[in-house]
Amino acid sequence: MCAAIVCIPCTGTAQEPKPDAHAAEGAAYREVLQTLCSAEHAGRVSGTVGGEQAIAFLARRFAALGLLPMAADSLRQPFATKDPEPPQWLPKTSCKVLVDGHESELKINQQWAPFPFSVEGTIAAKVVFAGHALAIPELGIDDFAGLAVRGKVVLALRGGPRWRAGDAAVRAYLPQLSFRAKAERVAALGAVALWIVDRADEKAAPLDFASLNQTTGAGAVPMLFADRATVARCFVGGSDGLLAAQHALDQGQALLALCDVHLELCIAASHRPKLGTANVVGQLLGSGEQRDELVVLGAHHDHIGMGRFASLAGPEGIGQLHPGADDNASGIAGMLLLAQRFRERGPGNRTLVCVAFGAEELGQLGSRWFVDQLTSPRKVAAMIDLNMIGRGQSGTLVAYGTGSGAGLAALVAAHAERCKLPIELRDRSSYRADQAVFLLNATPALLFTTGLHSQYHRPSDVPERVEVAAALQIVDLVDSVLIDLVNGPRRAFVAGNNR
């Protein structure tokens, strides 16, 4: 059963808090952290025994809170997901490059490798260089302008122009920079494969064959990575030519031409059966005129298990428990506190839907499934995502997506000032979070996060490092914003700020 929690929003619109209110909430918050991060849950990988036990725990908590199922008389919303373990490539997987008629067969995992989420296929086609494979009209970037890519292999740099520089217009959180987005873009233009090479950036962790297997996403076409030495042979001037192409793109200059390059590629993997996982979905019904409208409060429950995928701990991290306390037991614990507060207040104007999303670590699969199952996504008036809120003292609280709804920035800023809580507001979304899925469906959506840190995706992300008192302050702020979204005027979606 959930510990008793007293409602304490910083707006002062509800009952006065008891003196020990935060102490009781802190105990409840820590209990959720310890439970979800226990060895029993084994890092909560989607589709595993530990992941299933975490889902069962959350379903029991939802039921104890009085949350009602949305459909099928169950708080579980099951869906199938891929096995997150890196695939085993069959012997016929191969890659040949022809540069000005000279053929080279590349060595897998030494010179090239498929992305772990690549689609399979066999192709033979001419290669064209498309910069970073970006099309961001509002920033004046179109790497495909005047470039014929249909039926060809697109070679592209990782990331974007100066993407790790603090003053760059193209920043790492932009959704177009993801491998998934680039694959979808080239597929939509008719390309047959996407070939990625890393940039030469001092401030960025390099993409190499070890870290490649830790990447997650989805491929719309066959996708491969090759090291810079291999790709340099495709450029006039070799390594100097590849670096010159990067510098030209960073300065907004025209693309440089490749040599005459063709690629022969075969990607074939041993197939594993899909795994079953679930979102946990419960609702507190509204009673006002807008009770048929939904406000979604979400946080993802899954993590990366024993470090066999997506770990940043290196080879020594494989086989070690990655507890995922901040990512994202911290967000789940906050969502449960907020659900308790709203239940104790009684019905609001709109219906509040709480969702513990599955398979976020595999590319926001749970939130995509949730949105796809809605009979009318337009019924969702707003969404709030809690993802990694456990470094409120040592880190910086940021609200992403404040430009996605009319007046959202002013709303969040006003409540943060009332709560005396420093916060940075970002108009844009973070494509790595479930929030982005709702933005793509024209729903105003906010992400509250205290950001990355040195324990992220490592065994050291343990409950003891979560800054609980600061997390409860963030819960207070989100509570105040959520009250407005549930009971106040509907915020119109603002297009253009979700990129």
Query: pLDDT tens, 360-411?
Result: 998 899 999 999 999 887 799 999 999 999 999 999 999 999 999 999 999 9
Instruction: Please give the tally of structural domains in the chain.
Output: 2
Q: How confident is the model at residue 174 (pLDDT cuts 50, 70, 90)?
A: low
The CATH number for 362's domain is 3.40.630.10
What's the pTM value of the predicted model, to 2 decimals?
Answer: 0.79
What pLDDT is recorded for position 11?
46
Q: Please check whether residues 54 and 108 belong to one and the same domain.
A: no
Considering the domain architecture, whether residues 441 and 331 belong to the same structural domain is answered as yes
Q: Are 486 and 295 in contact (CB under 8 A)?
A: yes
Residues 57, 66: Cα–Cα separation, whole Å: 15
Radius of gyration of the chain (CA): 23
Measured distance CA(409)–CA(412) in Å, rounded: 5
**Whether the Cβ atoms of residue 297 and residue 381 lie closer than 8 Å to each other:** no
Residue 8: inside a domain: no
C-alpha 453/C-alpha 133 separation (Å) is 29
Residue 86 inside a domain? The answer is no
Note whether residue 495 is domain-resident.
Answer: no
Q: In Å, what is the CA distance from 490 to each residue of 9, 158, 349, 437, 472?
A: 21, 39, 11, 19, 27
The pLDDT of residue 1 is above 60? no
Regarding whether 198 and 339 lie in a shared domain, the answer is: no
Please compute the mean of the pLDDT values over residues 192-205 and round it to a whole number: 84
How many CA atoms, within 13 angstroms, populate the side-chain half-sphere of residue 406? Answer: 7
Whether the pLDDT of residue 172 is over 60: the answer is: no
The pLDDT of 462-483, averaged and rounded, is 98
Q: What is the mean pLDDT of residues 169-183?
A: 75
Q: Are 290 and 381 in contact (CB under 8 A)?
A: yes
Q: Are 303 and 333 part of one and the same domain? A: yes
Among 267, 297, 316, residue at a domain's last position: 267
Phi, psi of 323 (to 5 degrees): -70, -30
Phi, psi dihedrals of residue 280, rounded to the nearest 5°? -115, 120
Q: Where are the beta strands (DSSP E) in 227-289?
A: 261-267, 275-284
Rounded Cα gap, residues 492 and 330, in angstroms: 30
Instruction: Provide the pLDDT for residue 165.
Output: 66
Same domain, 52 and 147: no
| Burial tier of 394 (Cβ tally within 10 Å: 0-12, 13-18, 19+) | exposed
Q: What is the mean pLDDT of residues 15-35?
A: 81
Residue ranges of alpha helices (H) inside 120-238 are 179-188, 209-212, 228-232
Q: Which range has highest mean pLDDT (177-181, 277-281, 427-431, 436-440)? A: 277-281
Checking if the pLDDT of 9 tops 70, the result is no
244: domain CATH number is: 3.50.30.30
Residues 86 and 88: their CA atoms lie apart, in Å, by 7
Cβ-contact 337, 475 below 8 angstroms:
yes
pLDDT value, residue 63? 97
Rounded to an integer, the average pLDDT of 307-320 is 87
Q: Inform me whether the pLDDT recorded for 8 exceeds 50.
A: no
State the pLDDT at residue 159: 86
Give domain status of residue 12, yes or no. Answer: no
Among 213-217, 270-274, 325-329, where is mean pLDDT lowest?
213-217
Q: How many CB atoms lie within 10 A of CB 274?
A: 12
How confident is the model over 72-113, as pLDDT tens digits? 789 999 999 878 777 889 999 999 999 999 999 999 999 999
497, pLDDT greater than 60: no
Full domain range(s) for residue 295: 21-81+274-487
**Structural domain ending residue among the three candidates 267, 299, 324:** 267
Within-domain flag for 293: yes
Q: Per-residue pLDDT averaged across 54-74, rounded?
A: 95
Mean pLDDT along residues 439-467: 95
Q: Are residues 349 and 281 in the same domain?
A: yes
Angle at 498 between CA 408 and CA 128, to 5 degrees: 165
Q: Which residues pair with 238 in a beta bridge?
A: none
454 and 311 share one domain: yes
CB within 8 Å of 270: residues ≥ 6 apart = 87, 88, 89, 90
Question: Which has more confidence, 328 or 1?
Answer: 328
**Are residue 40 and residue 168 in the same domain, yes or no?**
no
Alpha helices in 306-385 (DSSP H): 330-345, 365-373
374 in a structural domain = yes
Across the chain, mean pLDDT equals 89
Nearest to 334 by CA among 464, 435, 482: 482
26 within some domain:
yes
Give pLDDT tens digits for 112-171: 999 988 999 999 999 999 999 998 887 888 999 999 999 999 999 998 888 766 666 666
In terms of domains, do 158 and 215 share one? yes
φ, ψ of residue 3 to 5 degrees: the values are -65, 150
Of 239, 267, 295, the position where a domain reaches its end is: 267
Q: Check whether residue 245 and residue 291 sit in a common domain.
A: no
Q: Are residues 70 and 139 part of one domain?
A: no
The 10s digit of each residue's pLDDT in 220-262 is 899 999 999 999 999 999 999 999 999 998 888 877 778 999 9
Going by C-alpha positions, the residue among 3, 39, 38 that lies closest to residue 23 is: 3
Pair (73, 98) in one structural domain:
no
pLDDT beyond 50 at 498: no
| Cis bond before residue 328 (omega within 30° of 0) | yes
The full DSSP string for 480-495 is HHHHHHHHSPPPPB-T
Residue 453 inside a domain? The answer is yes
Contact between 190 and 203 under an 8 Å Cβ cutoff? The reply is no
